[in-house]
Amino acid sequence: MAYTAIDKSTDYFNTKLYTGDGGTGVAVTTGTFQPDFTWIKSRSTGEPNVLVDSVRGATKILRSNDVTAEVTDSNQVTSFTSTGVTLGSNTAVNQNTKNYVAWNWKAGTSFTNDASATGIGSIDSNGSVSTTSGFSIVKWTGTSATGTIAHGLGVVPRMIIVKSLANTTTWMVQHASIGNAKEIYLNNNSGEGSSTAWNSTTPTSTVFSVTGGAGDGVNASGDYIAYCFSDVQGFLKINSYVGNGNDDGTFIYTGFKPAFVLYKSISGDDWFMSDNKRLGYNPDNNYLRPSLDASEGDPPDRINLFSNGFKMTTSDGGANGSGTTYIYMAFAEEPLVTSNGVPTTAR
């Protein structure tokens, strides 16, 4: 049985569905916490993925489906509140009668690291972190040279997503299952690529490595943002699986009932995101794609979410190709067993 320090997953991650009304000042209650990272996508129409965080500020927009630099827009997400976000009338987040999903993560503890003063890393950084839930947001100014950056997690991160805020460059992803000499990209369907971006160095419990020799991707000029994630028993799992190529597909054990799964073939295909709210029951777990502005996909049967993991129920190469390796990150709806020994219910 998998025990956990997080009995109520929605204290740290929550999925909120809402319908736009086209107005301004609209409050969307995303949970019982102030989110530090909110990712919004229209389910109904071809609108961009909108990513905001509390470190950069609510009006500072990134889009996972393209390589554009950060833009300031006071008509998308206008503010974070103690229980969610406030929206403007931009169609990417609030078109009248259209359906949306907002995924929300709490970090909660601000930090600033003066590398020369603390002796942690070589590049100054600031951000927000939750060591309990294994999530941190880290911002730094690029040095165009190899260096190390404090992430605040206290354990080794297993997935790091980096974007230049100033440059038109790809979203760079480091994932433990593909190693420290490779990268994969959030904004496209390419497979893994060999890379010097991470200086061929595995992150430690205090820092991750970047190199200025990888173009603008992780440490050239201008500011950068990183979203860092580490495994947390009963709440967050970052790993890989190998597809079997048939509709009775691979089962992936997570040790909890998944609320959200992000996965991708390392050989090349789109990223896919499914959660426990759209539509909220097996086999109808619709998907969205970080690398596209497309509306919600409605497969006949692609992924089933269970009390202790998820199972692919398709032979499609994007999820379960024979012999193909897939990387994933999954967050819990409930732990398989709470800290008090109470087991979860079946989905």
Q: How confident is the model at residue 25 (pLDDT cuts 50, 70, 90)?
A: confident
Percent of residues, the chain, with pLDDT higher than 90: 84
Position 1 in a domain: no
Q: How confident is the model at residue 24 (pLDDT cuts 50, 70, 90)?
A: confident
Mean pLDDT of 186-213: 94
Shared domain check, 70 and 14: yes
- What is the extent of the structural domain holding 208? 109-229
* Per-residue model confidence (pLDDT) at position 143: 95
Shared domain check, 321 and 242: yes
Q: In this model, does residue 2 exceed pLDDT 60? A: no
The full DSSP string for 280-291 is EETTEEEEE-TT
> CA 61, CA 38: separation in Å to the nearest integer?
11
Domain end call among 105, 129, 160? 105
Position 151 in a domain: yes
Position 92 in a domain: yes
Q: In this model, does residue 346 exceed pLDDT 60? A: no
Higher pLDDT, 69 or 284: 69
Q: In this model, does residue 115 exceed pLDDT 50? A: yes
Position 344 in a domain: no
Shared domain check, 120 and 98: no
Mean pLDDT of 23-52: 93
Q: How far, CA to CA in Å, does 319 sit from each of 92, 141, 178, 338?
A: 27, 36, 17, 30
Position 3 in a domain: no
Q: How confident is the model at residue 338 (pLDDT cuts 50, 70, 90)?
A: low
* Per-residue model confidence (pLDDT) at position 116: 97
Q: In this model, does residue 181 exceed pLDDT 50? A: yes
Domain end call among 229, 247, 263? 229
Q: What is the pLDDT of residues 220-276, one digit of tens each?
A: 999 999 999 999 999 999 999 999 999 999 999 999 999 999 999 999 999 999 999
Shared domain check, 315 and 242: yes
Domain end call among 105, 125, 160? 105
> CA 62, CA 226: separation in Å to the nearest integer?
12
Q: Residue 111 contacts by C-beta under 8 Å, 6 or more apart in sequence? A: 126, 127, 128, 129, 150, 152
Position 32 in a domain: yes
Question: At 136, which amino acid appears?
Answer: S
Q: How confident is the model at residue 216 (pLDDT cuts 50, 70, 90)?
A: confident
* Per-residue model confidence (pLDDT) at position 302: 86
Position 177 in a domain: yes
Shared domain check, 283 and 211: no
* Per-residue model confidence (pLDDT) at position 342: 53
pTM: predicted TM-score of the whole model, two decimal places: 0.95
Shared domain check, 276 and 176: no
